C-alpha cells in the first residue's frame, strides 16, 4: 500500500473471535476517497493475515490499529485472505 500522511489508510476494522471459523481481523469499511479505496486492492470483508510480515493472529485489535498507524509514513505490506465461495479463500500479498 502507498504511504499515508496519517491514520490507518482509511481502513475500518472489525474483530471476530479468532477461535471461531473465519475469525480474526477483517476490513469492515473503506473511507470514501481514502488511500485504500483509491488503491483499489483491498475489499470489505478481506481478512488481514499479516502486516509487514507480522502475523495478526498473535495481535490484539489495538495492536493491529497501532501497527497500521506506525507504517503510514513508510508504506505497508499486507497479506490478506479474501473469501469467495463457501469456505474457499484466496491469499493476496499487497505491497
pLDDT (tens digit, 9 = 90+) per residue, 58-70? Answer: 788 888 888 888 8
Amino acid 69: pLDDT: 82
Q: Are 79 and 50 in contact (CB under 8 A)?
A: yes
Amino acid 20: pLDDT: 60
Q: Model-level pTM? A: 0.74
Amino acid 50: pLDDT: 92
Cell numbers 486492492 correspond to 41
Give the CATH number of domain 11-94. Answer: 2.30.42.10
Instruction: Classify the phi-psi angles of 52: left when phi > 0, otherwise alpha if psi is within -120 to 50, otherwise beta.
Output: left
Low-confidence ranges of the chain (pLDDT < 50): none
Amino acid at each position: 500500500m502507498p504511504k499515508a500522511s496519517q491514520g490507518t489508510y482509511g481502513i475500518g476494522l472489525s474483530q471476530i473471535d479468532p477461535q471461531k471459523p473465519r475469525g480474526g481481523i477483517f476490513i469492515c469499511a473503506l473511507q470514501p476517497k481514502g488511500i485504500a479505496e483509491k488503491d483499489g486492492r483491498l475489499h470489505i470483508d478481506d481478512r488481514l493475515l499479516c502486516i509487514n510480515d507480522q502475523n495478526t493472529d498473535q495481535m490484539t485489535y489495538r495492536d493491529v490499529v497501532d501497527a497500521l498507524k506506525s507504517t503510514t509514513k513508510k508504506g505497508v505490506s499486507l497479506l490478506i485472505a479474501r473469501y469467495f465461495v463457501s469456505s474457499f479463500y484466496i491469499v493476496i500479498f499487497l505491497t
